[in-house]
Structure 1
């Protein structure tokens, strides 16, 4: 039985940068081995409905046609992954917004804002430059996928 659009699929994954460094995984032991373990996170297979737009297109396309127990490695270019960085998502914010909240802005730090998560790319005397692009925007990434279970879509 092969994965088709509309099926609910459980799968495990390992996400790597092109240089082989692991940035995310559904396997707890792989997270531990690579120093990216998040204690509060529940590790295990990810469940998605294929074709519902719950995944980046490159991974979703790779799952189609796979069978339970099958493993596959897929290279995902930015266009089928996290997109290209957008200049309009890099915005200055008055430094007072940080100091008034008792925060010391530091380059490289991530902050949660009303508009979502952003990375501080520069701290100036008058402004803090925030980047709202996805951290993987513009990057080619590699995913190892393993299908664990397929629940076929309901026939209508």
Structure 2
């Protein structure tokens, strides 16, 4: 059960800085204890497709060649984590770009970039567009829980990865049938993600020749009909 590129694997992990500060974890309790818990985040083991960048490159590379059941630690250097710190990624931005005057430490969006306000000088702000963890070594404690082989579970995993939604699915005669919840009809993230998920199904499951997305509506009974 050696892990190779293209495999679907279920893992758990906790990520720390060199000083031991926890920055992320798949374990809800660990995240709460460390003060990094996010209310709307999904906790528990995650499924990744090895080689597709679903986790940091350094962690992904360490997973390859390991076996199911492996528990260990890997130190990921900045260039295989969030990148080296680049002092040239700081910019002076006029305060006219903001609805409200920003303060040092605020995360702000300028055009298509997100950065942190380093300081405000007169009518301009110095924005650092480096990732907050740029230049940091990340230490992962992780476990490989399972290698996913079942086609249905792979399909469900791909939709979860690319749309953020857990969907019901089944396979019949080379066709993947996926139930789509009615509340995503106008969800742009889901609409774009489902296209990627379908393409990935064809890429990773050659036995699937067709994907059918089913929107199911059930009529609610009126009082007269139920009496």
Looking at structure 2, the residues matched to 74 and 155 of structure 1 have their Cα atoms a distance apart, in angstroms, of: 33
The reply on whether 1:123 has 2:103 as its aligned counterpart is no
Root-mean-square deviation (CA, aligned residues, Å) is 1.9
Q: 1:114 aligns with which of 107, 111, 116?
A: 111
Residue in 1 that maps onto 2:68? 68
Please list the CA deviations of residues 1-42 of structure 1 after superposition, one character each: whole Å capped at 9, or x if unmatched.
Answer: 121011112211101010111011111000111111111111
Aligned to 1:91, what secondary structure does the other structure show? strand
The reply on whether 1:134 has 2:131 as its aligned counterpart is yes
Taking the TM superposition and a 5 Å limit, the aligned residue runs for 1:4-153 are 4-98=4-98, 101=99, 103-151=100-148
Please list the CA deviations of residues 66-86 of structure 1 after superposition, one character each: whole Å capped at 9, or x if unmatched.
Answer: 222321100111122111112
Looking at structure 1, the residues matched to 206 and 71 of structure 2 have their Cα atoms a distance apart, in angstroms, of: 27
Higher helix share: 2
Looking at structure 1, the residues matched to 140 and 79 of structure 2 have their Cα atoms a distance apart, in angstroms, of: 15
Taking structure 2 as the reference length, the TM-score comes to 0.62
Looking at structure 1, the residues matched to 38 and 132 of structure 2 have their Cα atoms a distance apart, in angstroms, of: 18
The Cα of 1:155 is off from its aligned counterpart by 7.7
The Cα of 1:154 is off from its aligned counterpart by 5.4
Contact 2:84-2:134 within 8 A present in 1 as well:
yes
Higher strand share: 1
What is the total number of aligned residue pairs between the two structures? 153
Q: Gapped runs of 5+ residues in structure 1? A: none
Q: Which has the higher contact order (CA 8 A, sep 6+)?
A: 1
